Structure 1
Amino acid sequence: MIISGTYGEESNIWIAYIKELNFNVAASNKAELFQNIRESIKQLDKKQNFFEVNDNADASTFQIKFINMSLFSAFVFKSLRNKEKVSQYKIADKLNVSRTSYSQYEVPTIEPTLTKFFDILKALGYEVELNIKKIRRL
């Protein structure tokens, strides 16, 4: 699972941005910017490093590659919920579950099924576009 964003420098401030998720990170230099991106994700992935951040300097873009579905979904759910300024209670109510049950997807302690992933995004007011591409020959 990969999420892409853009970055750039203006007035001696480096900014990374993922528009769809309202994800913003700032720093005084490029190295610090990428460190701050990693640190913001490590808040969800405290021990395991199930992600990597890659720089495509030619295009001023970056990619966050998640190796773990629960971390990917937690990052997406929490980012979108914060963007929409809704509580976990409201999302849980739309899903007909308790807040505690829903919060386990944001911690992340539970990996959602694909159906549950779609349901949570729908409760947040979003839909999924799935992009599948071949990465190697069998």
Structure 2
Amino acid sequence: MKIIKNTLFFILILLFSFSAVAEQTAEEIIKERKSIFSKNYKTAKRVQGLASDGNLDEAKKLMIEMSGNYKRLLDLFPESSKVGFKTEALPSIWEYKDEFNLLMTKASNNMIELTSVIDETKDMKATLGKYMWSSCKSCHSKFRAEH
């Protein structure tokens, strides 16, 4: 019985999250995803500064926040949001949707993994490059228009 309740609860959450995106206009979706990407960039810079200063506990909190943001982005690229409102998303996102989603998932997972390896790192710059900045670069090179 508990499994059925949990399953129904999970299904309701999924339906709610899908309907929330479905109710957003293309403009709202594009603005939200641009805001999240911008926030993640600013947060990444803060993570870099905090980690370099040895404030790893605060940096880890931000890494977890970034991980959640990457997960949220998975829902913010519906077909209706391909163009307009100064989007910098390239059509390749929709042409290679599975690859894009995999990159977002990998970026999310990298941030969680970073929280567990950062305490032991000898080379902070290289570690942040491997787990954080490489995710940005791999996505931007294929899925974002140049400024």
TM over 0.5: no
Bigger Rg, structure 1 or 2: 2
| Higher RCO (CA < 8 A, seq sep 6+) | 2
**Which is richer in helix?**
2
Higher strand content, 1 or 2: 1
